[in-house]
Amino acid sequence: MKEQTLVLIKPDGLKKSLTGNILTTLSESRLEIAGAKVVKVSRRLAEKHYQHLKKKPFYEELIRYIRGELHGKKKVLVLVYYGEDAIDKVREIAGATNPEEADAESIRGKYGRITTKGIFENVIHASKNREEAEKEIKLWFKPDEIIFKLYPTEMVTRSKVKVKAWKR
């Protein structure tokens, strides 16, 4: 069945100029890109993304990693891939969480490493399952930033919310 998944190219991927290689490898999946953008990750966004790991000893370092504080590259590339079995296909191409256990030809197997502090610098994030994909896509993207209608939307009025706009 067709489904969607969230991919992050993490700061180490950007720092090491791996974006092109990673996107080429992902294109082997024949999936479609439904959304893409560069994001400077706030503490709040990082904490929400890694909520499930809050109790882990490596949590603080993980937040620093995704925010680019370990690489001097404060950005990630965020993508939504859509198509048949998108979640498993991308997870397989990404490889195991631990780069030392990842298949040698997977993205994490090729480009990942374990730091001296024990963090898995595994270059890429990919949603684990449909529930996680939905949570993550809704966290990283607004409905209009994705070209397909992946989840139900509604119109809401937010009259007193200040937003930054282009100066006229």
Annotated catalytic residues are 125
Stretch that binds ligand TYD, among 24-32, 69-77, 119-127, 142-150 (CB under 6 A): 119-127
Q: Give dist(CA 73, CA 86) in Å, integer.
A: 28
The interface region with ligand TYD, picked from 22-30, 37-45, 117-125, 146-154 by CB under 6 A, is 117-125
At 136 the three-state DSSP class reads helix
Q: Name the CA radius of gyration of the chain, rounded.
A: 16
Is residue 119 part of the contact set for ligand TYD (CB under 6 A)? yes
Site for ligand TYD in 80-99 (CB under 6 A): 97
103-108 long-range Cβ contacts below 8 angstroms, 24+ apart: 107/22, 107/25, 107/26
**Site residues, ligand TYD (CB under 6 A):** 53, 58, 62, 97, 119-120, 122, 125, 128
